[in-house]
Amino acid sequence: MLVDGLQGNSNYKTGRWIAFYGNDMEAVVDMQQPTEISSAEIAVCVEKGDWIFDARGFAVEISEDGNNYTRVAAENYPAMKKEDRNGIFNHKLTFEPVKARYVKVIANSERQIPEWHGGKGNLGFLFVDEIVLN
């Protein structure tokens, strides 16, 4: 589902998005053989009124055996502000080319909805669609 090539639109109810609540997305892509990659992308659907927030972090780890992983890139993102738009947010990490059979993609969810929101203090949803590795 996260690597099927079908991208969701701004309507998160289409079935093209995978939701995470109270946990982070951690997806392992088996490339079937060692493959060179130098970037990873994800798409996140945001609808703040429905407690769906942007990722708070994004990371990529690689492995040859599927057990031992090495982090090759990571970013943290600030909490959303009231004036931030809803819609689709794309995140891309680029890094020196590496070869890996297994690629772990991690997106951190909102653990505490900000004070300005009616759901303040609660967990936020994270809706992720396509993972693209190049």
Q: Cβ(128)–Cβ(107) under 8 Å?
A: yes
pLDDT at residue 1, rounded to an integer: 45
How far is 27 from 131, CA to CA, in rounded Å?
9
User: Quick one: CA dihedral 127, 53, 94, 76, positive or negative?
Assistant: negative
Domain ranges in the chain?
Answer: 25-121
Q: Is 3 helix (H, G, I), strand (E, B) or coil?
A: coil
* CA separation for the pair 117, 134 (Å, rounded): 37
With contact defined as beta carbons under 8 Å apart, do 131 and 16 qualify? no
Q: CATH code for 25-121?
A: 2.60.120.260
Residues of the chain with confidence (pLDDT) below 70: 1-11, 13, 15
> pLDDT of 93-123, one tens digit each?
999 999 999 999 999 999 999 999 999 999 9
Query: Residue 83: which residues within 8 A CB-CB, separation 6 or more?
Result: none
